[in-house]
Structure 1
Amino acid sequence: MTKAELVFIPSPGMGHLLSTIEFAKLIIKNNQYISILVITFHMPIYTLTAMEDYVESQSRQLDPNHFTFLTLPPLSNMPDHDSPTFYNSITELQKPLIKQALVARSTKPAAFVLDLMCVTMIDIANELGIPSYMYFTAGACFLNLMLHFQELVHDKGVDLTTELSNPDTELVLPFFRNRVPSKVIPLLFADKEGGWSMLIHDISRRFREVKGIIVNTFVELESYAIQTLHDHDKIPTVYPVGPVVALDVHNRYGGGGPQLEDRDDSIMRWLDEQPLSSVVFLCFGSMGSFDEEQVKEIANGLDRCGHRFLWSLRRPSSRGKVVLPSENEIFEEALPEGFLDRTTHRGKIIGWASQVQILAHQAIGGFVSHCGWNSILESSWFGVPIATWPIYSEQQLNAFELIKELELAVDIRMDYRRDLRMNNGNFVVMAEEVETGVNTLMSMGDQMRQRIREMSDTSRKVLQNGGSSHNCLIRFIREVLEGPTSSDKFQ
């Protein structure tokens, strides 16, 4: 019999969902007296199939005594996609459905565990007398940035949009050792007219209302940023419990049909034929695609550098739509004439594939990455060096942290940004930059490679008994179990 139920509400994005469910598994692995209800809802601007298939596969595979999945029905009164209040509106419209579902259950949850974009669900928890925690799927530096900027704007009246409008400005931030160029700060913070900056500050303010903030990082990776959070007397308790990575997922869906399995087997067979640490892997996340002009420059850079490569080249979505790029279609027509013939002996072009499986392969010697936080933790786990090519969200900040603060990566262009709706970037990264970046990555010096190997070893040790992240997880579980239990009834 379980003693306490936790209600997890992840944001409807694949990276958030994967990380959230992996964290839930980690809790159950360490305490069999807890059960978990995962509530998911639809975000119609994204392709839903991937998330729906993944949730279905997890509901089949996981122990029903410990895991329950509830998918809310699609909304009939959908808000405007282009409005800065879209995410807030979607979340607000889910609240009555979530409250109704919880009240209908016979027992009262011990706690809510909310994604950062679902933090307004605190209102439901408060109504029902349930404590709330936040699971932060990004890193400690970005959490610091959100809290710091919110304080500057709301408490001190600072006009950040003006300060961030100059790309040459360098900011002194208490959780970075180095000055931070404004061009790597997420654009949302500078969007005064569109209303996005106020939205993100309002969300950040609510972080202070939760009982604790669980962060997918570990002390030994972001020691300076985590110490800054611990020293702050106006924020809740912080629990660094990472790296939370989905190591046992064969592919995105946790299963998949024969077509996906055949494709993955073909990739693994090709990697098996390559020398140790000889292949550079280029992959840019769930939203990762480029327009034709940028694809040609990447291809020309790979053509010139001469290294073996495995490139996830996915066809972008139509302009004017923010949806996932194609899973299976390769954007071959964008490649320069003769490229495939010239590189057939040393390169392979693929669509989507299991990133974890590929990074784990001994033939991979470097990773050109968009610097999503999950990808950073995965590459750190397997000890694969990164060349940074961020695209959107907080990825530019992550790239800066990897290169300047942690000295664990090399740069291609840390200030690159892509408009997800128009499928184009703020500039084109030229073939010469790609060539130089890949060459630097694949010829990385022994000192940096040693640091990466040591961080890989550390990332595994922190999750073991007595490790820093394991200790934080046990503290969190103990706190949950000492609070309301499932024997409490709703009033």
Structure 2
Amino acid sequence: MASDTESPPPKLELVFIPFLASGHMIPMVDMARLFASHGVAVTIITTTHNSLIFKNAIDRDIKSGKPIKLHVLPFPFAEVGLPEGLEKMNSVTSQGQKQKLYQATMLLKKPIQQMLLDHIPDCIVSDMFYPWTVDFAAELGIPRIVFQGSSYFALCAQYSMRHYAPCENVTSDMELFVVPGLPDRVELTRLQVPDHDRTKNELTAILDVIREAELRSFGVLMNSFYELEPSYVNHFRNVIGIKTWNIGPVSLCLSTNDKYERGHNSVVDPHECLSWLDSMKPNSVLYVSFGSQHKFPPPQLYEIATALEASNHPFIWVIHNEETIDGGDEAWLPNGFKSRVNGMIIRGWAPQVLILEHVAIGGFMTHCGWNSILESVTAGVPLIAWPLYAEQFYNEKLVTQVAKIGVGVGAEKWLNLLEDDGKVVVKKKKIEKAVIRLMDGGDEAKEIRERTKELGRKAMKVVEVGGSSYNDLISLIGELVLLRESRIN
């Protein structure tokens, strides 16, 4: 027993280093806050403008006594030739800016290292795009955990594509093939495979470095839960052989204020939005949003608008401000559209979690970003899958072929985000068909809806005491405490 004069052991200290893109930052900051809620001292390293996105939430945590803080670094705009304020990956408008932004993140390496040298934490949790942290953590004598912002299924599919190279055995871009080595029969075409998994390119080399660093890390932290993709959690751990912890869905740990501010302040009054939903029947409204990075051209927006009108369902449609600047709405909305439909268009950032949790929402048309899929599943809302880029076509197969919690819109080609964003990729008839298939209440739609709601119920339980994600979090904290004690002793 410790004497009264002995001081208590210091708190476990973790440093989180998120990548400068909303889809990476948001869940990683949520994870950091979750650790802090369990008494772990947490520091989040980010840049000036990005810190403003979640400063209010961190301030609330500090006020409530949680051991969490921000370490803010100035962004090296001048060094790479970027305009001041452009420090988020989803703000770039050209391949050149994307490369400069990536260069700038590498220039942050030295100030981050200096900060860590000044006060060595017990563990570094860094985004996959910072592979250099594994070597630096080794120099400091501490573990590095890598944050992966996608699904287990996508990681397993990517491994199979690299290991077996099935694209080399098909005779055309549209020929279906089975992804080898997975627990389920999953079919893709060569056009749906990311270009860096199809053939070697510059990104392939970067991802090879990232994967090699991942193998040398202490393990992988995932915003997922076992019950959503159990076969792929097991496959990743036992076949691919990488240690992981599931601590998601992290959006379940948010307060109402957090949900309103999640990622950015909403551009709409949430009360106005939710009041409008209150006037709708349960499961009647379609939510349409394609994430923070892709910006559709006016012809594609027109196809979406005409499909929404033809399907005759109420909707909330989130679009980017950048999508309306050339001539405003009238440049692409059908004449008289607003007077004929029962819908709400939100220009900018929407309170997505609050919207999805509303009983009136019956479906979510999404780009299949992992955060959006998790938030929809957590709310028990089935999906219309419209993958665009990154690992999203893999996520679509999880939704439509494995978990069977949604329908596909019929997207056929993986897009290079900055080269193909001006193209019409899905026509009205396909969009309308997918909306009707999910929202019109047939037997298939009822089965999909019930499966999704059951997963939503399971998601609520996994973060409670004794749940699978809660247990993984507690287990990881315990492992890190033991590592610190062995290092000190």
User: Counterpart amino acid of 2:343?
Assistant: G
Report 1:272-311 matches (<5 A).
272-311=278-317
- Residue 211 of structure 2: which of 204, 210, 213 is its match? 204
Contact kept, 8 Å, 1:109 with 1:484, in 2: the verdict is no
Contact kept, 8 Å, 2:144 with 2:218, in 1: the verdict is yes
Contact kept, 8 Å, 1:84 with 1:199, in 2: the verdict is no
Contact kept, 8 Å, 1:216 with 1:240, in 2: the verdict is yes
Greater relative CO, 1 or 2 (CA 8 Å, sep 6+): 1
1:144: Cα distance to partner? 2.0
- For residue 236 of structure 1, what is the aligned residue in structure 2? 242
1:417: Cα distance to partner? 4.2
- For residue 195 of structure 1, what is the aligned residue in structure 2? 202
- For residue 57 of structure 1, what is the aligned residue in structure 2? 56
CA distance in 2, matches of 1:425, 1:141: 29
- Residue 358 of structure 1: which of 342, 355, 359 is its match? 355
User: Counterpart amino acid of 2:281?
Assistant: P
CA distance in 1, matches of 2:111, 2:210: 21
Report 1:54-453 matches (<5 A).
54-63=53-62, 66-75=67-76, 76-78=78-80, 82=96, 89-105=103-119, 108-149=120-161, 166-181=173-188, 182-192=190-200, 194-232=201-239, 235-245=241-251, 247-248=254-255, 249-252=258-261, 256=265, 260=266, 263-316=269-322, 331-343=329-341, 346-351=342-347, 352-422=349-419, 424=421, 427-444=424-441, 445=443, 446-453=446-453
CA distance in 2, matches of 1:332, 1:53: 33
CA distance in 2, matches of 1:366, 1:169: 28
CA distance in 2, matches of 1:117, 1:387: 29
Contact kept, 8 Å, 2:411 with 2:425, in 1: the verdict is no
CA distance 1:224–1:250, shift in 2 (3 Å): closer
1:136: Cα distance to partner? 1.5
CA distance in 2, matches of 1:362, 1:245: 18
1:210: Cα distance to partner? 0.5
CA deviation string 1:255-274 (max 9, x = no partner): 84xxx576333222211111
User: Counterpart amino acid of 1:78?
Assistant: V
Give the superposed CA RMSD: 3.0
**291-300 or 76-85, which deviates more:** 76-85
User: Counterpart amino acid of 2:12?
Assistant: A
CA distance in 1, matches of 2:203, 2:264: 37
CA distance in 2, matches of 1:356, 1:109: 33
Contact kept, 8 Å, 1:39 with 1:69, in 2: the verdict is yes
CA deviation string 1:243-293 (max 9, x = no partner): 22264324346784xxx5763332222111112211111111112431111
Residue segments in structure 1 that go unaligned for 5+ positions in a row: 43-48, 153-157, 318-324
1:9 aligned onto 2:56: no
- For residue 35 of structure 2, what is the aligned residue in structure 1? 27
SS for the counterpart of 1:70 is strand
CA distance 1:191–1:14, shift in 2 (3 Å): same
User: Counterpart amino acid of 2:113?
Assistant: K
CA deviation string 1:41-96 (max 9, x = no partner): 48xxxxxx5x3322322332222751121122222432895499767644432221
CA distance 1:310–1:213, shift in 2 (3 Å): same
Contact kept, 8 Å, 2:194 with 2:414, in 1: the verdict is no
User: Counterpart amino acid of 2:367?
Assistant: H
Identical residues among aligned pairs (%): 28
User: Counterpart amino acid of 1:350?
Assistant: I
TM-score, length-scaled by structure 1: 0.84
Contact kept, 8 Å, 1:366 with 1:441, in 2: the verdict is yes
1:465 aligned onto 2:447: no
CA distance in 1, matches of 2:260, 2:131: 29
CA distance 1:416–1:272, shift in 2 (3 Å): farther
1:127: Cα distance to partner? 1.7
Contact kept, 8 Å, 1:4 with 1:485, in 2: the verdict is no
CA deviation string 1:387-444 (max 9, x = no partner): 1112221111111111011111111124354443356365431111111111011024
Contact kept, 8 Å, 1:211 with 1:236, in 2: the verdict is no
CA distance 1:245–1:340, shift in 2 (3 Å): same
**162-171 or 408-417, which deviates more:** 162-171
User: Counterpart amino acid of 1:347?
Assistant: G
SS for the counterpart of 2:296 is coil
1:369: Cα distance to partner? 0.9
1:112: Cα distance to partner? 0.7
Residue segments in structure 2 that go unaligned for 5+ positions in a row: 1-7, 83-94
Contact kept, 8 Å, 1:369 with 1:375, in 2: the verdict is yes
- For residue 155 of structure 1, what is the aligned residue in structure 2? none
CA deviation string 1:112-168 (max 9, x = no partner): 11111123211221221111111222110122234445556xxxxx69789798342
CA distance in 1, matches of 2:105, 2:161: 23
Contact kept, 8 Å, 1:135 with 1:214, in 2: the verdict is yes
CA distance 1:486–1:94, shift in 2 (3 Å): farther
CA deviation string 1:315-343 (max 9, x = no partner): 336xxxxxxx98xx974531011111221
Contact kept, 8 Å, 2:384 with 2:438, in 1: the verdict is yes
CA deviation string 1:158-209 (max 9, x = no partner): 69789798342514332351133133322332353x4122222221222101
Contact kept, 8 Å, 2:192 with 2:414, in 1: the verdict is no
CA distance 1:26–1:56, shift in 2 (3 Å): closer
CA distance 1:14–1:161, shift in 2 (3 Å): farther
CA distance in 2, matches of 1:224, 1:332: 48
Contact kept, 8 Å, 1:380 with 1:452, in 2: the verdict is yes
CA distance 1:298–1:19, shift in 2 (3 Å): same
CA distance 1:142–1:41, shift in 2 (3 Å): farther
Report 1:29-48 matches (<5 A).
29=37, 31-32=38-39, 34-41=40-47
SS for the counterpart of 2:270 is helix
CA distance in 2, matches of 1:314, 1:135: 28
Contact kept, 8 Å, 1:161 with 1:191, in 2: the verdict is no
